Amino acid sequence: MHVYDLDTPALTVDLDILERNIHNMAEKCRGLDIPLRVHIKTHKVPEIAHRQIAAGAIGIACQKLGEAEVMAEAGIDNILIPYNIVGKPKLERLTRLVKQKTVIVAVDSETTANGISQQVQADRCVVGVIIEMDTGGRRCGVQSPQEALELAQKITQMPGLDFQGIMTYPSNSRVKPFIEETVDLLSKAGIPVKIISGGGTGGEAASKEMGCTETRSGSYVYEGMTRVGPKTLSPEACALRMIVTVVSTPTADRIIIDGGQKTFTSYPPTPYGYIIEYPEIKIYGMSVEHGHIEVSESKHKFQVGEKLSVIPVHQGMTSNLHDELIGVRNGKVELVWKIAGRGKVK
């Protein structure tokens, strides 16, 4: 089947680009001599995670517990959940997972750590724990090396918790003194730091410079080796393509496609993607089920029923809206993968 014979909208991935991105990141991290832990939140596909591990990744990172459960069921081990796990339902699910696979979780408060400790005691298991540090991301994380030390001291006294180290996002050279001070404080307090986890596609060299023992990268699998945006989407680096159909040509300078916010997400800014066949035309807006494209800069006369290939601006968010991913090579459909982790936000 040719890719243009697919019913649309159809989420596809160029397998040659996907495989090249996986290979290039693995080679980059080997060259830097830093272990790679791949973040699966971009693709949520166990088959892609297996390929990343086969290329050399030491394990995976899952932003949510539901993603980790899906990946564990697919036979993947060494899972980091860099997210605070809070609440009885999640804690019970965590201990079930810990009994099956090697799992490390992140915390940034005594309350979160204590909740995990109580549950693993009740379920008679042990879980590895790292402390998340806020080094500029302004999300979760302790705010200073001293806070990290105080929390680590409490964690080491909590039954069922095996303190492993620290994590941060994003990796950059400015973070190095913060990390070094934290490790120094912990070491002087007699608390070993086994893991220093850095993160962010494009931050691998910075993770190495910071002294990290691993680096977490995810978006590269679809978007290439550096972060991209609406003005830098590249058909050579970006693996994902949404195949859409022109369903209306209401004016000479505007066409409508059958993919809107429910297909691509409403993620700003515009343009919403890069149209491979005609880069000069732009998706300037979206309604729920319609994509609005400005075509005045193109000499091509668009027809109802014509197919287009669009690289979404935020490929990870787009993939989370779809049940399946269609693998394409040289314009031909080669395989279909279930996006098993889609919607796993709990």
Determine, yes or no, domain membership for 190: yes
The reply to whether 32 and 130 lie within a common domain is yes
- Quick one: pLDDT band at residue 225, thresholds 50, 70, 90? confident
The reply to whether 158 and 282 lie within a common domain is no
Residue 293 CB contacts under 8 Å (≥ 6 apart), including other chains: 254, 255, 256, 257, 275, 281, 282, 283, 284
- Quick one: pLDDT band at residue 227, thresholds 50, 70, 90? low
The reply to whether 54 and 194 lie within a common domain is yes
Q: How many CB atoms within 10 Å of residue 69? A: 22
Q: What is the pLDDT of residue 26?
A: 98
**What's the CATH number where 320 sits?**
2.40.37.20
Mean of the per-residue pLDDT values for the chain? Answer: 96
DSSP state for residue 179 in the 8-state scheme? H
**CA pair distance 41, 48, nearest whole angstrom:** 11
Q: Which of 26-30, 242-246, 312-316 has the lowest mean pLDDT?
A: 312-316
Q: What is the mean pLDDT of residues 31-37?
A: 98
Last residue of a domain, one of 221, 249, 283: 221
Tell whether pTM > 0.85.
Answer: yes
Helix (H) or strand (E) run with residue 31 in it: helix 15-32
Q: Are 342 and 44 in contact (CB under 8 A)?
A: yes
The reply to whether 187 and 256 lie within a common domain is no
Q: Are 202 and 29 in contact (CB under 8 A)?
A: no
The reply to whether 125 and 252 lie within a common domain is no
Q: Read off the pLDDT of residues 175-206 as tens digits, 9 standing for 90 and up.
A: 999 999 999 999 999 999 999 999 999 999 99
The reply to whether 21 and 7 lie within a common domain is no
Q: What is the pLDDT of residue 137?
A: 85
Task: Give the domain range for residue 207.
Answer: 15-221
Domain tally, the chain: 2
Last residue of a domain, one of 221, 245, 273: 221
Tell me how far the alpha carbon of residue 201 is from its chain's centroid: 9
- Quick one: pLDDT band at residue 71, thresholds 50, 70, 90? very high
Q: What is the pLDDT of residue 20?
A: 98
Share of the chain above pLDDT 90, in %: 92
Q: What is the pLDDT of residue 266?
A: 77
Q: With helix as H, strand as E and coil as C, how does 107-151 read?
A: ECCHHHHHHHHHHHHHCCCCEEEEEEEECCCCCCCECCHHHHHHH
User: What backbone phi and psi angles, to 5 degrees, belong to 176?
Assistant: -55, -50
Helices (H), 56-144: 65-73, 88-98, 110-122
Q: Are 190 and 215 in contact (CB under 8 A)?
A: no
Determine, yes or no, domain membership for 156: yes
Q: What is the mean pLDDT of residues 106-131?
A: 98
The reply to whether 111 and 188 lie within a common domain is yes
Q: How far is CA 139 from CA 38, 83, 177, in A?
A: 20, 11, 20
- Quick one: pLDDT band at residue 232, thresholds 50, 70, 90? confident
**CA pair distance 268, 311, nearest whole angstrom:** 14
Share of the chain above pLDDT 70, in %: 98
Q: What is the pLDDT of residue 228?
A: 58
**CA pair distance 22, 93, nearest whole angstrom:** 31
Asked if pLDDT for residue 136 goes beyond 90, the answer is no
Q: What is the mean pLDDT of residues 32-36?
A: 98
The reply to whether 239 and 313 lie within a common domain is yes
